[in-house]
Amino acid sequence: MTTYPTIVQVVLDATDIRTLAEFYRELFGLEYRPGDEPQNGEKDWLVLRSGSGVPLAFQQVDALPAATWPEGPIPQQLHLDTTVPDVTELDVQHERALALGARLLHDRSDDLEEPLRVYADPAGHPFCIFVG
């Protein structure tokens, strides 16, 4: 029987990991790994967890070119796909994402087969919210 590696977490690079971690903490309702909370000072690595799902980690870097997708020379490189149950919730999460600092990159919310929107987080990483 073959064994395979297990995905432990998804890691996002950022020049300001606390701001990016706070964005995703609010957007997804995640919690900091013990010791990574804001009152514990500046760090170069943070982890957010939930009761289920893959944790998100954030690694501090000095510079990071923002993705220019869907046009331009810098591709997405990595993006997060997230789902909501229906178009009403897609609209609710759209407003939340924008209020938290996301930038809308692509709007296909009127697609009857798979309504979705693509955003950039505050560090420029693309992520999708779609009806699944």
Write the pLDDT tens digit of every residue in 22-32: 999 999 999 99
Q: Which backbone phi and psi does 74 adopt, to 5 degrees?
A: -110, 110
User: What is the rounded CA–CA span in Å between residue 81 and residue 125?
Assistant: 12
- 49 against 6, higher pLDDT: 49
Domains of the chain: 8-63 (3.10.180.10), 65-131 (3.10.180.10)
Band (7; pLDDT cuts 50, 70, 90):
confident
Cα 66 to the center of its chain, rounded Å: 14
Write the pLDDT tens digit of every residue in 10-19: 999 999 999 9
Question: For residue 53, with 0-12 CB atoms within 10 Å meaning exposed, 13-18 middle and 19 or more buried, which class applies?
Answer: exposed
Dig out the tokens for 122 from the structure: 């505050």
Write the pLDDT tens digit of every residue in 50-80: 988 899 999 999 999 988 888 889 888 888 9
Q: What is the pTM of this model?
A: 0.87
